[in-house]
Amino acid sequence: MKKKAYLIGIKGVAMTAMAVYLKEKGFKVTGSDVAETFFTDRMLAEAGISHKLGFSKENITEKYDAVIVTGAHGGMSNPEAVQAKKIGLPVSMHGRYIGSVMSGYQGISVAGCHGKTTTSSMIAMILSSANLDPSYAIGTAYINGLGAAGHAGRGKFFVAEADEYMTCPVTDPTPRFFWQKPSLAVITNIEFDHPDAYRNLEEVKAAYFQFALNTLENGDHLVACQDDAESSELLQKIKHTKIATYGFSPRADFRIKKYHISEGVSFMTVEVKGEEIGEFMVKVPGRHNLLNALAAMTACNLVANLSWAQIKEGLKKYTGGNRRMEKIYEKDRISLYDDYAHHPTEITATLNSVRDWYRNRRIIVIFQPHTYSRTKKLLEPFAQALTLADVSAVAEIFPSAREKADPSVSSSLLVEAVKRLDGKAVLVRSKAEVLNYVKQTVRQGDILMTVGAGNLYRWHADLITILAEL
């Protein structure tokens, strides 16, 4: 008899990936979420996973073997989670559940404030290319060349992102990555984020320090970026033989010796402990993605003992994922890209990478800030990042399902902050204003980008219609 799983908040990218993984493991999978359309809807439909619209205790009608709960929509206080616990079903927050899944494999965890999804996806691609058929549950909808971001493979590896956010915003402040006990963990960078979970950078650093200690106690390897100041400081505190570093720094064990970028592709020459091992092709833009690629290469070499030839072949196949510098449309030298960047550092890296690839083209950004708390805490860094665009159209703040409106912060304040830094920015309060702005502003040769973790992706069809007429 098939086991049954119910996912509360099934449309979230991490939850959808887990749903697909469980379906491939032989579970009968269902769940619930809000009625609003998400870009994961297609992935669920293609996997044959149905779900209920809305949350109600009446939805919990069967004896599920696993009830998995998202951190959004109330977490453990969601009426469905409350009902499931009341009738004695095994209920687990997603962060904790993914740790229990990983315990049955050789786990590969990718932590960091930025780069988790890309690095995890690269690792999954390299391992898959080497015919190791890894399992994975990665926080995006699709990975080019692999398909759905969740997969139950026949191999011994399980790849997952390791998030520093709270297990449950209502009931459990434990950082989610504490539940993972991987064979190898990557730390891409450490930076202040999630101001609703951490009061300052020191608290974030303390969480990462404990995650690193947990990994070294239970696993075989910790891989960290030598170039990142906070990660480097963390390594100085630990000093362990299981640690490997990567980066541009001459002090890194796995080092990018030189690189060059052209339109559509980058090449980097890599050396390991002073010995050059060859040139590697990376088909996603930006210096930051060279670091992500090197992190993935390092992980695959250490944990799976892959040759550099196998790694080179796998990396060459990686062309990106859903909402990570994803090309949505291109015609007559007008290009539309979409990117999930929702932190100033991510936006800076994304815009710099576009400049590297398209040096002589105008960049127009439609940015939708994500969460009141993040926008308020990082307003000036957001403004600084947006000055890298030729012009930014800032939409209204997209709130998290777990927060209340905060009238002390607004998109108009962000627009004014950009202008104070001599950047160009306009406020676009509605979808209609965005579409009209694009119609009046974009011309041949422009790069138009939708940026943020909100719902701008739902406007792409209308944007494409306008761009096609220009």
Q: How far apart are CA 423 and CA 386, in angstroms?
A: 7
Is 242 labelled as part of a ligand binding site?
Answer: no
Neighbours of 327 (CB within 10 A): 11
Is 117 labelled as part of a ligand binding site?
Answer: yes
Q: Are 394 and 379 in contact (CB under 8 A)?
A: no
Neighbour-count burial of 272, counting CB atoms closer than 10 A to its CB (0-12 exposed, 13-18 middle, 19+ buried)? middle
Is 115 labelled as part of a ligand binding site?
Answer: yes
Is 113 labelled as part of a ligand binding site?
Answer: yes
Is 225 labelled as part of a ligand binding site?
Answer: no
Q: How far apart are CA 37 and CA 91, in angstroms?
A: 26
| Strand 106-111 to 157-162 pairing | parallel
Q: Residues marked as binding for ATP?
A: 112-118
Q: Residues marked as binding?
A: 112-118
